[in-house]
A and B are shown apart, each in its own frame.
Chain A
Amino acid sequence: MRSHVHSKMLVVLVVPILALVPISASARDGKPEAGPTAENAMAAEEELARAFRNNDADAISNLLDSSWAVITANGDVAEGPSIFPEGIKIGYRTLKTFDMSEPRVRLYGNVALITIKLDLAGVFGGKPFDVLERETDTWVWKDGGWKCVLTHESFVKHS
């Protein structure tokens, strides 16, 4: 009986210790624990690029802040995170290529600025396009993750 009680106590002691192992591992791997860094801002940028490349409307929405806006390469201002996702859902905008290069990353506390060169091709409003852009995404660290609050695009022109 006594030995049985000892066994039970051992289980009671060992189980919580074992439980700490996965918690500690997940804290080490989990990016939110790290706070805002240039590395996890760039990871968010790459995730957004992947979502665009895959025409994944929901994944794009997840990374955009409710205050998000885009300055298009034509100089127009469009407000609201649903612009691109809705364009994809109704088949108005379908990307074939979304390749980024030459990243410039700057961190200012809870805000990251990421400027990239963008090779972009697809169909927009029934017309094919293939352009080169320079784009700056402004990211804000909120509730343990990055949200994009502004995308500013420009065409790259060779003179």
Chain B
Amino acid sequence: MKLSIRHRMAALVVVSLLVAPLVISKVAKSAQAADGPTAENVMAAEEDLARAMRENDPDGIARWLSDDWAVISGKGGVGEGKSIFPDGIRQSYLTRKTFEISEPRVRLYGNVALVTTKVNTSGMFGGKPFDVVERQTDVWVWKDGGWKCVLTHETLEK
């Protein structure tokens, strides 16, 4: 009986030692927010925003945008408010077929990150097809343990 308790305790210790690093590693990986602002986690945010754009996912887009977000469009217009793209998608005014980002340039200034990418995007806008290459800068601000995009400035490439 005494031996059995010892065995049980030893088994418990061994199992704990084996499992604990796996659990800790998983938690650390998912909780990037705990790391504070880094070039890596802002690029992860940029990629997830690109995925949401590519998949025409209005909620996925809205989640990344700050309430005071604005866009400078490729034609130089200024659009204010985070609902512009999500509403356009819901009303089928904007439907993307592609949204691929490349050549990222990432700069971190404290709680603010600038991410400039080359964007190949195509789809339908207002009933008309489009297929363009843009250079885009997203300005991200670290708020409440996560990134929010506050400005998107687009330029059409020639």
- Whole-angstrom distance between the alpha carbons of A55 and B146 in the complex? 42
Are B116's CB and A67's CB within 8 A? Answer: no
**B105→A69 contact, CB < 8 A:** yes
Cβ 8 A contact of B135, one of A77, A108, A115, A132? A77
- A134 in contact with B70 (CB, 8 Å): no
Q: How far is the CA of A136 from the CA of B151 in the complex (A)?
A: 10
Q: Is A152 an interface residue (CB 8 A)?
A: yes
Taking A157-B75, A157-B76 as contacts, is the C-beta distance between A113 and B150 under 8 angstroms? yes
Q: Quick one: closest B residue to A109, CB to CB?
A: B111
> Residue of B at shortest CB range from A73?
B155
Q: How far is the CB of A78 from chain B (nearest CB, A)?
A: 11
Q: Are A154 and B114 in contact (CB under 8 A)?
A: no
Select the residue from B70, B75, B155 with max chain A CB neighbours within 10 A: B155
Tell me, in angstroms, the Cα distance from A155 to B158 when the chains sit together.
11
Contacts of B76 in A (CB 8 A): 117, 132-134, 154-157
> A77 to chain B: which residues have CB within 8 Å?
103, 105, 116, 135
Q: Bin the interface of chain A by size.
A: 35 or more
Inter-subunit contact B158/A74 (CB<8 Å): yes
Interface membership of A3, Cβ < 8 A: no
Is A138 an interface residue when CB atoms closer than 8 A count as contact?
yes
Task: Report B-chain residues with C-beta under 8 Å of the C-beta of A69.
Answer: 105
Contact between A138 and B116, CB atoms less than 8 A apart = no
A138 and B70: CB pair below 8 A?
A: no
Contact of B75 among A106, A140, A153, A159 (CB under 8 A): A159
Q: Would you call B51 an interface residue if the criterion is a C-beta within 8 Å of the partner chain's C-beta atoms?
A: no
Interface assignment of A110: CB less than 8 Å from any CB of chain B? yes
- Chain B residues 106 to 128 lying within 8 A of chain A, measured CB to CB, are 107, 109-112, 114, 116, 118
* Cα separation A82 to B15 with both chains bound (whole Å): 61
Q: Indicate whether A28 reaches chain B with its CB closer than 8 angstroms.
A: no
A63 at the interface (CB under 8 A from B): no
Is A104 located at the chain interface by the 8 A CB criterion? yes
